[in-house]
A and B are shown apart, each in its own frame.
Chain A
Amino acid sequence: DAGITQSPRYKITETGRQVTLMCHQTWSHSYMFWYRQDLGHGLRLIYYSAAADITDKGEVPDGYVVSRSKTENFPLTLESATRSQTSVYFCASSEFLRGLAGGNEQFFGPGTRLTVL
């Protein structure tokens, strides 16, 4: 399927468990992002990647790990899930055609609703 997909769409886990959320895009976009969305906070950036093997922290990176060995995939891992990580997680991608900061729209995946008990 063309576009950007996330899996799973829903996940329930327990405190202390490791969880990996998957993100896959078919456009070969350079940039990929992980956001979490919580009531009252909007979208907060967790990690982002400018290209394969290049990742950097966003606003709320603690407790999360990312990797990007291939351009199309950008998995997000919660190494030891906590209740405060209960949230809706969105993956997004964008191209870097213009070479200018923030000049390209971001395409969002459908989201993963994660509940940590």
Chain B
Amino acid sequence: QQPVQSPQAVILREGEDAVINCSSSKALYSVHWYRQKHGEAPVFLMILLKGGEQKGHDKISASFNEKKQQSSLYLTASQLSYSGTYFCGTSLADFGNEKLTFGTGTRLTIIP
């Protein structure tokens, strides 16, 4: 089942913060985050495994709440280069392979 992302779209001014959420109705083993710029392929940002860990990548960080089966992506002091569509991909706990189910994406637009 496809994870639900929110919001679907957000517009920010450079320097503002954003939070993108990814929720699943099923137990998750891992959550991936990817960013896709217009006309390009998705690019990996980070993976979070069950256990509630939090990770950071420059000014982008993410958390995974295993109890809620929800992951959040945090973008602080956003830069113009952060614009794009963000996808979460989830792996179910009962699958022993690398298959992911992606959400429908969150379009982030950063304006000067």
A residues contacting B by CB (< 8 A) are 31, 33, 35, 40-45, 48, 50, 58-59, 90, 94, 96, 100-111
Contacts and interface: CB of A to CB of B under 8 A. Distances in A.
Interface residues of B, number: 29
B98 A44 contact: no
Contacts of B96: 101
A104 B98 contact: yes
Contact of B30 (A31, A43, A102, A108): A102
A42 B44 contact: no
A53 B66 CA distance: 35
A106 B90 CA distance: 12
Given A42-B105, A96-B98, A101 B87 contact: no
Contacts of A48: 97-99
B28 to A, nearest CB: 8
B104 A41 contact: yes
A28 B85 CA distance: 29
Contacts of B105: 42
Interface in B86-110: 87, 89-93, 95-105
Contact of A106 (B40, B100, B104): B100
Contact of A108 (B2, B41, B92): B41
A35 B101 CA distance: 10
A31 B49 CA distance: 19
Interface in B20-76: 29-30, 32, 34, 40-44, 47, 49
A101 B103 contact: no
A58 B99 contact: yes
* Candidate in B2, B47, B96, B97 with the most chain A CB atoms within 10 angstroms: B97
B44 A59 contact: no
A40 B49 contact: no
A42 B90 CA distance: 13
Contacts of A43: 42, 87, 89, 102
B79 to A, nearest CB: 22
* Candidate in B42, B93, B103 with the most chain A CB atoms within 10 angstroms: B42
B106 to A, nearest CB: 10
